Structure 1
């Protein structure tokens, strides 16, 4: 993997994190009161997150990616953005060989991140 490609992926992931932080933190830097509550019931986002993690453990990256993108295209929530950031952080750490074994590529990572950026209006 070329160094510029890795830097670009990291930049896209960082932009996603910045957008997430902006969505969760108010103007004064305080967490919104809504975000201080802890949900006892699993949300739709939590279930999606668990499914993605299960597929990642099984090295079924394409299945995890499909679930993530389908969820994000339906609803651009801050939680899905957080899940996406975690997902792409994880698979970006895979070696080229690991990605190939999962039938995935760095180019797919870049394309997905750019697609998500457009959905969330993020800038890298």
Structure 2
């Protein structure tokens, strides 16, 4: 229990830190524009939210990485929002949908590597706790 709370705090704090440093925002909340102005990233966000609401967490994470665009700042915001949302799920919800808090850490670590931010976490391993 305490270990899971610790991991949740680490993930939350890292997502917040990355949002502040790279997005210049206090949080990583992906906001959709007016309906007529959607980009591919906006449609991806809607699809991810739908998959998460259906408990298809693995499928959603796969879709996130399949569509990764490290040159798109909105994609960075989308990915951080995604992991922030995952982190807010209860352990029971994650378990019911064949996902773990450890996998959230692993996915976030992979995201950090893909964007070339590896030095940011200074050797801290979110997924090994």
**More RCO (CA 8 Å, sep 6+):** 1
Secondary structure of 2:67 counterpart: helix
RMSD: 2.3
Runs of 4+ in structure 1 off by over 4 angstroms are: none
Secondary structure of 1:103 counterpart: coil
2 CA distance for matches of 1:85 and 1:64? 14
Deviation at 1:104, TM superposition (A): 0.5
TM-score for the superposition, normalised by structure 1 = 0.75
Secondary structure of 1:104 counterpart: coil
Aligned to 1:15: 17
Deviations 1:83-120 (A, max 9, x none): 11211111111111110011100111001111111122
Unaligned runs of 5+ in 1: 25-37
Determine which structure has more spread, i.e. the larger CA radius of gyration: 1
1 CA distance for matches of 2:17 and 2:109? 11
The alignment status of 1:67 with 2:93, answered yes or no, reads: no
Aligned to 1:116: 111
TM-score for the superposition, normalised by structure 2 = 0.73
- The size of the alignment, in residue pairs, is 109
Unaligned runs of 5+ in 2: 26-33, 122-129
